[in-house]
Amino acid sequence: LINQNSYLVSGELKPWKGKTTEVYSTISSTEDYKPTLLGSIPQLGKDEALEALDAACDAYDKGKGSWPTMKVIDRIACMENFVKQMKTKRAEVVKLLMWEIGKNLPDSEKEFDRTVDYINDTIEDYKQLDRRNAKFEKQDGVYAHIRRGPLGVVLCLGPYNYPLNETFALLIPALIVGNTVIFKPAKHGVLLISPLLEAFRSSFPKGAVNIIYGRGRTVATPIMETGKVNVLALIGNSTSANALQNVHPRQNRLRLVLGLEAKNPAIVLPDADLDLAIDECIAGTLSFNGQRCTALKILYVHESIIEEFNKRFSARVDALKFGNPWEDGVKLTPLPEPGKPAYIQELIDDALEKGAKILNKKGGETSNNYVFPAVLYPVNKEMRVFQEEQFGPVVPIVSFNDIEEPLDDMAESNYGQQVSVFGKDVKTLASLIDTLVNLVCRVNLNSSCQRGPDAYPFTGRKDSAVATLSVHDAIRSFSIRTFVASKDN
């Protein structure tokens, strides 16, 4: 059991003796499904939240604080110290990723290692940026020395599906450029931050990073209401982002760094390599049970190949191994959000009522938070599963005759993150790309949608994102370009 009985504020792990919230595993260790208690976290209130905000404001001190004015090389040393300590906690964090959110072992290890790489690459990118900008360059008769300056105080909230990787993809670039941060871990995937608290405490100066626990409405809302937050950095859903943004008294001055919903389609053209398309669509729709913003959430398959595609795709889904995250070859695991199985069932029922069928034998089998993915066909616009971001194990399939059909749907959609296109004819692909790049921000040719490699921009159009993440872009999203000008060199 991990009973987290402190929170990080002003460089101190403050003991907490008040109310706590129990944290349960998504994995049941008994046959009759009894949730496993993993530990507890502090249930902080408004006072503690504002204490963390004050600590971040003091450390930033309107730009005069020790963290934002620290030499780049010294800030980097703090970050290097942090990552060194973090690496020693790999086994503990990986274990908690499996128990808390049900991510399978290879993906949990990948999440940890990818986060370490992300931090190291961010350090490297920032070093290069600083080196490039170190000297005065002459332009239009003026010598100028460019600097990336911080923006102020950042409130950082990460998602449960990548409680480490995506959260750190906000936190690390925000910090490295000299912002101060208040970080509230995701509701699921919260205990896995505990093994890292001491590394945060000892690596960064007082108040640069503050870590709080509690309900969003009790701790994050009062922080936003003060108007003292300069950047809202959130990966999650629009409802939370809007609610927090709306209570900020100067919201038109608030910088947003948001990664939100997506409904990424795959378009399978008549000449697609079906083996490849099916492999990629399986991974794209159902890795981590479809709980990825980058997951393929709707498949458009040309009517000339639909029968073959549906038969082979559904058989492949039924062959996926379901079980506990640490078991060999397990692809499907229990869902951490208690309300998710009922929601997935609602989407299935609605689609069935409106004429779809479940194509795979095991589709929709449910027991507590174990839900076997359902493949639904034929899906149309009237169905909720067509419109909503399911973020879970249900795969809607639509057949099309004319390529304009999926393109029109994409243009109408509220989302615009990525698309996958499967086909061989280079001319067709090339002409499609010209339209697709205007509808989404990443076009994947003959491969499923994904965020990595982290060197590439990760963003979206419409309601899918505000600002761009990636090792390189995130530093820019959390900073402002300033410069020192001089007539002499």
Cβ atoms of 229 and 253 within 8 Å: the answer is no
Judged by CB under 6 A, which stretch of 55-63, 196-204, 314-322, 447-455 contacts ligand G3H? 447-455
Question: Is residue 103 close enough to count as binding ligand G3H by CB under 6 A?
Answer: no
* Residue of 292, 297, 442, 472 interacting with ligand G3H (CB under 6 A): 292
Question: Is residue 451 close enough to count as binding ligand G3H by CB under 6 A?
Answer: yes
**Structure tokens of 151?**
């923006």
Cβ atoms of 49 and 7 within 8 Å: the answer is no
Smallest distance, ligand G3H to C-beta of residue 238, A? 14
Question: Is residue 459 close enough to count as binding ligand G3H by CB under 6 A?
Answer: no
Smallest distance, ligand G3H to C-beta of residue 455, A? 13
Tell me the C-alpha distance between 487 and 489, whole Å: 7
Question: Is residue 282 close enough to count as binding ligand G3H by CB under 6 A?
Answer: no
User: Between 148 and 340, whose beta carbon lies closer to ligand G3H?
Assistant: 340
Beta bridge partners of 24: 37
Smallest distance, ligand G3H to C-beta of residue 323, A? 20
Q: State the maximum Cα–Cα separation within the chain, in Å, rounded to a whole number.
A: 77
Query: Phi and psi (nearest 5°) for 174?
Result: -60, -45
Number of residues that bind ligand G3H (CB under 6 A): 9
Tell me the C-alpha distance between 406 and 79, whole Å: 45
Nearest of 179, 175, 190 to residue 118 by alpha carbon: 175
Question: Is residue 187 close enough to count as binding ligand G3H by CB under 6 A?
Answer: no
User: Between 230 and 264, whose beta carbon lies closer to ligand G3H?
Assistant: 264
Question: Is residue 457 close enough to count as binding ligand G3H by CB under 6 A?
Answer: no
User: Between 59 and 299, whose beta carbon lies closer to ligand G3H?
Assistant: 299
**Structure tokens of 254?**
């608030």
User: Between 72 and 260, whose beta carbon lies closer to ligand G3H?
Assistant: 260
Question: Is residue 293 close enough to count as binding ligand G3H by CB under 6 A?
Answer: yes
**Structure tokens of 35?**
């949730």
Distances (CA, A) of 65 to 10, 59, 82: 13, 5, 20
Judged by CB under 6 A, which stretch of 25-33, 330-338, 422-430, 445-453 contacts ligand G3H? 445-453
Nearest of 448, 451, 443, 331 to residue 393 by alpha carbon: 331
Strands 2-3 and 255-259: unpaired
Helices (H), 102-154: 105-132
Question: Is residue 464 close enough to count as binding ligand G3H by CB under 6 A?
Answer: no
Sequence-ordered list of residues with C-beta below 8 angstroms from that of 229, at least 6 positions apart, any chain? 53, 152, 153, 154, 155, 182, 223, 248, 254
Judged by CB under 6 A, which stretch of 92-100, 192-200, 211-219, 286-294 contacts ligand G3H? 286-294
147-186 footprint of ligand G3H as x/- string (CB under 6 A): --------------xx---x--------------------
**Residue 159 Ramachandran class (φ > 0 left, ψ -120 to 50 alpha, else beta):** beta
Smallest distance, ligand G3H to C-beta of residue 292, A? 4
Judged by CB under 6 A, which stretch of 149-157, 212-220, 277-285, 450-458 contacts ligand G3H? 450-458
User: Between 364 and 460, whose beta carbon lies closer to ligand G3H?
Assistant: 460
User: Between 27 and 235, whose beta carbon lies closer to ligand G3H?
Assistant: 235
Other beta carbons less than 10 A from residue 139's beta carbon: 8
* Residue of 450, 459, 468, 477 interacting with ligand G3H (CB under 6 A): 450
Smallest distance, ligand G3H to C-beta of residue 461, A? 16
Question: Is residue 28 close enough to count as binding ligand G3H by CB under 6 A?
Answer: no
Judged by CB under 6 A, which stretch of 50-58, 242-250, 273-281, 446-454 contacts ligand G3H? 446-454
Q: At what angle do helices 105-132 and 165-176 cross, to 10 degrees?
A: 20
Tell me the C-alpha distance between 372 and 447, whole Å: 24
User: Between 292 and 340, whose beta carbon lies closer to ligand G3H?
Assistant: 292
* Residue of 122, 294, 390, 464 interacting with ligand G3H (CB under 6 A): 294
State the residue for tokens 């980058």.
Answer: 294
* Residue of 446, 452, 461, 476 interacting with ligand G3H (CB under 6 A): 452
Nearest of 180, 210, 198 to residue 81 by alpha carbon: 198
Q: Is residue 405 classed as helix, strand or coil in its secondary structure?
A: helix
**Structure tokens of 253?**
């001055």
Q: Is residue 263 classed as helix, strand or coil in its secondary structure?
A: coil
The residue ranges that bind ligand G3H (CB under 6 A) are 161-162, 166, 292-294, 450-452
